[in-house]
A and B are shown apart, each in its own frame.
Chain A
Amino acid sequence: GNSVTQMEGPVTLSEEAFLTINCTYTATGYPSLFWYVQYPGEGLQLLLKATKADDKGSNKGFEATYRKETTSFHLEKGSVQVSDSAVYFCALNNNAGNNRKLIWGLGTSLAVNP
């Protein structure tokens, strides 16, 4: 079946540090991949996505590349800020058949200290 595995948190970094949050997946077919972010007290919002192998999604300084050979979609940012403190969720949508649901990772909490 389809599944998403994220690295466990919490992740704690100092401001301007490099961030990597690992995400790997299992899926049949050719899924689309997503990163969502949830700031404290808010709902989730789309951060970036990629719909096919080797695509790179990017937004707000974050990047993730769809790697089919390693079934991964790791989130990276070169220099984090305190305002990036949030929970990050990796998700996939399997486009095979009539699938209307996203498959979610458990989320990774990030805390950035000044």
Chain B
Amino acid sequence: DAGITQSPRHKVTETGTPVTLRCHQTENHRYMYWYRQDPGHGLRLIHYSYGVKDTDKGEVSDGYSVSRSKTEDFLLTLESATSSQTSVYFCAIRPSRDQETQYFGPGTRLLVL
């Protein structure tokens, strides 16, 4: 158990509203990732972080921003939610550069109406 929690676990929101998803870890792992999972697309990387205040874009970063002001929290923000952002969002951690395995949180199911 890598001590990863995500909140909220389920959210329904309306188009145009801002949404923030939180990923919290208890083990001070260096790397954190946000993915979205959609049928037919598998897992797609949105953003990732390799340290406090160090983040980089993934393959589907448009419409999303992230922040990591402390090691244990990685926030994903949808500035103005759209129906195309309806998805299941997963956070993952990677303990260090030498440990390649990623460990996943339970996911957040987001519905944008």
Contact = CB atoms under 8 A, between A and B. Distances in A.
Interface of A: 32, 34, 42-46, 49, 51, 89, 93, 95, 100-102, 104-107
Contacts of B64: none
Interface stretch (B14-22, B65-73, B75-83, B101-109): B101-109
A101 B58 contact: yes
Contact of B42 (A46, A89, A93, A100): A89
A32 B107 contact: no
Interface residues of B, number: 22
B104 A104 contact: no
Contacts of A44: 43, 90, 92, 104
B76 to A, nearest CB: 15
A100 B40 CA distance: 24
B103 A100 contact: no
A71 to B, nearest CB: 18
Given A89-B43, A100-B31, A100-B48, A43 B107 contact: yes
24 contacts: A32-B100, A34-B101, A42-B106, A43-B90, A43-B105, A44-B90, A44-B104, A45-B104, A46-B102, A46-B103, A49-B100, A89-B42, A95-B100, A100-B31, A100-B48, A100-B50, A100-B94, A100-B97, A101-B58, A102-B100, A104-B42, A105-B42, A106-B41, A106-B42
Interface of B: 31, 33, 40-43, 45, 48, 50, 58, 90, 92, 94, 97, 100-107
B99 to A, nearest CB: 10
A46 B105 contact: no
**Residue in B45, B90, B100, B106 with the greatest tally of chain A CB atoms within 10 Å:** B100
A57 B107 CA distance: 27
Nearest to B94: A100
Nearest to A32: B100
A8 B102 CA distance: 24
B93 to A, nearest CB: 11
B42 A43 contact: no
